[in-house]
Every structure is written in C-alpha cells, then in structure tokens.
Amino acid sequence: MALDKFGRNIHYMRISLTDRCNLRCVYCMPEDITFRPKPELMQDDELELLVKLFVELGFDKFRLTGGEPTIREGIVDVVRMIASQEGVKSLSMTTNALLLDRLAKPMADAGLQRVNISIDTLDPEKFTKLTRWGKLDDVLRGIRAAEAAGLTPIKLNAVIVKGFNEEDVIDLAALTLQNPWQVRFIEMMPFGDVAGFQTKQIIRAQDMRDLIKEKLAPLEPVLNKKYASGTNIVAAPDGKTKAPLMDGEARLYRLNPPDGLAQGTLGFISSVTNPFCASCTRARLTADGRLRLCLLREKEVDLLTPMRNGASYAELKEMILDGIWHKPWGHDLDNNVIPLNRVMSEIGG
Ligand code: SAM
Ligand code: SF4
C-alpha cells in the first residue's frame, strides 16, 4: 500500500499517454505549443514496467489521459496491457472523443471500462473557438459510439471559461434531464504559460450553480448513492448533513424541475475554490515518466531517467513510495503558488 504522510492511501493513478493533442483548447495549451521529442516520452515497455510496479504497490484504479490519449500509437494494445494486469479493478479514459467513432469498440473489447468526454459547449461555433479548430459533431458522434460500446456511465467534462462559455452551463446541465449522464463542470485551473489567462477568466462552481438555479431548474444535492448515476462514489454523507455526495472529485447535484427529477446528475469540480484534498487518493504519471504528486504542485519524481540508467525494480519501488510519502497536502493558490513547470496537457488532467 502506498501511504502519504497524512495517512491518505494513494491507489489511483492517472497516466498521461502523450503530451500531444489533435485540439488546442484555449484553457489547456497555447496554440504554438512545442511538444517533447518522442524519445523523451515513455515507450510501451517502459510504461508496462511502471504499471506493474504501481499495481504491486496497491494501485488498482487507472485512468488514461494526456494530451489526447487516443492519438497514442497502439492505444488499443496499451489499454489491453493495463487491463490485463491482475489487480487492476478500474480502467477508464478522459478523451476529447474525436476518435471514439473508430476506437470506442476496440478499446472496450480490450478492457477499457468507461470514458469521460470533454465537451465545453453545445454551440458548434463556440466549440470551434474554444478548441481552436474542433468540430462539435465529431464529439457528439464519439459520445454515441462510447454509449454503443458500453463505456458507461458516460461522464461529460466541461471547463467553464468567462467570456467563452459561462452561459452554456444551462444547455449542458439540461442534457441530464433526459440522459443518464453525469455532466461535470470544472473550475479552470492555472498552469504554466496560460496561468494569467486562467486566473482572470475563472468562473467559480458556486456561480455556475447559481446560474443553473436561476435559469433552468432547482438543484438538489445528491445525498444517497441510490440516486447517483456515477461510479466510484467515495464519500457517502452521514444522512444528517446536506453535504452532497462526492464521486471522485465531483460534488453531485441533480436537477429537480416541477415535472420530476432529472435522469442524470451534475458534478461540480471546484478544485480552486473548494478542493477535495482530504479525500485525494491519486497520483499522476506524466508522458515523460515523472510521478506527479499533486496536479497543482510542481513536485515530481523522475522515474524514467533512473529506469533508463538501469535502476533496479526495488530501487524504483523505493522512489515511488518515497515520492508518495511526500505528496503535498494540496494546492497553495491562495498564496499565489501557481505550478509553472508544465501545462495541463503535459501533466495529464
Ligand atoms: N484530451 C483529453 C480531454 O480533453 O478530455 C484528456 C486530457 S485533458 C488535459 C483532461 C481534462 O482536463 C479535460 O476534461 C480538460 O477539459 C481539463 N482541463 C484542461 N485544462 C484545464 C484547466 N486549465 N483547468 C481545468 N481543467 C482543465
Ligand atoms: Fe487537447 Fe484535452 Fe487539452 Fe483540449 S483539454 S487541448 S482536447 S488535451
């Protein structure tokens, strides 16, 4: 078991399979980003060895991300390799869905269980503006392909950005009225080169909820697991408080219009204004093989270089355990400590 010094059991690994992407979302990466040369990134055999180590250390939940994970060469084989490790209980992916039309079924057959799909607006023009050249139709097709392949329950991720899509929370939330999906609204986080933009244009989760209540329907905290459509619900309420149930990092709510409760749920991920550090169980592996201990802190442990220099299995395990032990409690954005060494796509969101 990998414990940190605060007693948190860290068993959820998010792996960035590539820093590259077929889009350039404004909140994620600059348009003229330079990607790392491929030899600097983990190769398949290196990734396999690290996954085996993590599993031996008690990691049982994995999420593949990036960059855009579906553009990694041999993605179906990567999914199969991870899914086939004994001890892996959960394997999911965060994707922009552009390639799911072609890949959802083979990845599901290879052992992928679920996907989170990023979709920040239902307006085709705004979508293109936010992603710099993406087509909304491709994402909608991808969502259908994921559902058909059984990569469910479907979760949709929307980062809300002032001046781009704050009004779109209403249409996105309305999707849950008729669909058993979880639509998750994410507060924009500041990273690297784009931190100035991100800090100025953040919309708080509380403001999103207020807008939904005002313009769409009353919003109720989900208090009972029975009514949550997500999986991996981590913290049930005590039944007395009105604190919403959490699904991973998302606080769950449900629309309650006069004609009956919505089918799906809304998740609010307020990493900036109301973080969930006490229940954090995760670490990240960057595409260049660094163990990143907290999304919003620069602290990392380089595993790839020692591995390439011949470090033994036992030495690598020791480095991982030591890194996890020193995992920071959480972010320090209030004191203006902003992670500058990487943008989101390099860390793996
Ligand atoms: N390309 C895939 C996708 O977009 O789903 C996976 C990688 S992306 C970095 C993972 C998630 O991070 C996406 O849901 C994206 O919207 C979110 N994200 C990217 N930059 C962010 C930022 N500055 N603040 C909050 N979320 C961000
Ligand atoms: Fe690419 Fe995902 Fe970043 Fe958008 S959020 S640029 S799709 S990695």
Q: Which of 23-32, 88-97, 149-158, 281-290 has the lowest mean pLDDT?
A: 23-32
Contact criterion met (CB below 8 Å) for 145 and 181: no
Would you say residue 150 lies in a domain? Answer: yes
Would you say residue 318 lies in a domain? Answer: yes
Q: What secondary structure letter does DSSP report for 222?
A: -
- Residue 158 CA, ligand 1 centroid: distance in Å: 9
Structurally, the chain folds into a number of domains equal to: 1
Would you say residue 3 lies in a domain? Answer: no
The residue whose CB lies within 8 Å of the most ligand 2 atoms, and thus the one to mutate among 20, 22, 25, 139, is 25
CA distances from 136 to 97, 124, 125, 133, 158 (A): 10, 5, 8, 10, 13
Would you say residue 303 lies in a domain? Answer: yes
Round to whole Å and give the CA distance between 32 and 131. 13
Confidence of residue 236 (pLDDT cuts 50, 70, 90): very low
Quick count: other Cβ atoms within 10 Å of Cβ 132? 12
**Which residue type sits at 69?**
P
Domain of 20 in residue numbering reads as 12-346
Would you say residue 1 lies in a domain? Answer: no
pLDDT at residue 233 greater than cutoff 50: no
Top pLDDT among 243 and 73 is at 73
- Residue 28 CA, ligand 1 centroid: distance in Å: 6
Would you say residue 336 lies in a domain? Answer: yes
- Say which CATH number the domain at 25 has: 3.20.20.70
3-state secondary structure of 337: strand
Top pLDDT among 111 and 226 is at 111
pLDDT one-digit tens code per residue, 245-271:
888 889 999 999 999 889 999 999 998
Q: Which ligand is nearest to the CA of 22?
A: 2
pLDDT at residue 117 greater than cutoff 80: yes
* Torsion angle defined by CA atoms of residues 294, 298, 303 and 304, in that order, rounded to the nearest 10 degrees: 120
Would you say residue 7 lies in a domain? Answer: no
3-state secondary structure of 82: helix
| Mean pLDDT value of segment 148-163 | 94
In this structure, is the dihedral angle defined by the CA atoms of residues 144, 149, 152 and 155, taken in order, positive or negative? negative
